[in-house]
Amino acid sequence: MNALPTPQPAIEFIGVDKRFAAKGKSVEVLAATQVNLSIRPAEVVSLIGPSGCGKSTLLNMGAGLSKPTLGVVKVNGQEVTGPNPHVAFMLQKDLLMPWRTILENIELGLEFRHVPKHQRRDVSEKLLSQCHLSGFGDSYPHQLSGGMRQRAAMARTLAVDPLVLLMDEPFSALDAQTKMILQQDLAQSVALQGKTVLFITHDLAEAVAMSDRILVMSERPGTIVQEIEVQMPDRDNPMRRRKLPELGVYVSQLMDLLRLDAHADMH
């Protein structure tokens, strides 16, 4: 009996290095030919590591906003050479346009793609409900709380139906309770729609609660030093995962890898 073929990665980084010029010198952000990363379709992978190790640089390359100095980035088997319609980016700041209603903000990416108005409205109204924003479509960003604006940003990200979601600490500015609620909403939406996610976070419990795998990066020049498979049930239910004793074990392991306990002993 023949084995089933391995699915093509949704996104992959092959031998990627990135260098920037600073004060006449070349600064290496990612270690040459050492960043190799492949993410399967519908997989959620978190990226953790020290500040400045190249996590956001990887996401920028994945989105086509920056080109690698060496190596190749591919989405759905195609090399990324510029902004890619199969990729959507969500940041810590919601970046909603203040002069547009929430409904109009959600529809923005679809407008750029020249999707007919009635189709845009169908998609945006469905996402208003899915992201628990029903009744706020005609509101403006300044009328909503930070958590609700981030829900709107999440709805706008999902509206373009991307293959890959790149998320750079999307919940870090929120209070703990709101953060957990939005983690739950995102996890359920991602599972429902079968999205692939590469997620940067400094919150180790968040990484464990939401991920299939966690990749730990070194200090700059960054490379991936450890890969951890999160063998816990209910990836679509982070709140349930947070109640499991295994979560603390994974967080402790990540703290050791990042040597956070050593930093604590220094103070």
pLDDT value of position 32: 46
pLDDT value of position 53: 83
Tokens linked to 149 = 């604006």
Tokens linked to 55 = 């996590």
Q: Tell me the pLDDT of the chain (267 aa) as tens digits.
A: 555 566 789 999 998 888 776 666 666 666 544 688 999 999 999 999 988 888 888 999 999 998 888 889 999 999 999 888 899 998 888 889 999 999 999 999 899 888 899 999 999 999 998 888 999 999 999 999 988 999 999 999 999 999 999 999 988 888 889 899 999 999 999 998 899 999 999 999 999 999 999 999 888 777 888 999 999 999 999 999 999 999 999 999 999 998 864 454 444
Rounded CA separation 222/50 (Å)? 9
75 by DSSP, 3-state: which? strand
pLDDT value of position 7: 76
The label of the residue with tokens 């991920």 reads 211
pTM across the whole model: 0.87
pLDDT value of position 205: 95
pLDDT value of position 130: 86
Tokens linked to 181 = 């609620």
Tokens linked to 237 = 């239910």
pLDDT value of position 25: 64
Helices then strands, each counted (H, E), the chain: 10, 10
pLDDT value of position 264: 47
8 by DSSP, 3-state: which? coil
**Rounded alpha-carbon distances, angstroms, from residue 164 to 59, 143, 174, 196:** 11, 30, 24, 5
Task: For 8-86+164-175+195-267, give the CATH class.
Answer: alpha beta
pLDDT value of position 191: 92
Domain ranges of the chain: 8-86+164-175+195-267
141 by DSSP, 3-state: which? helix
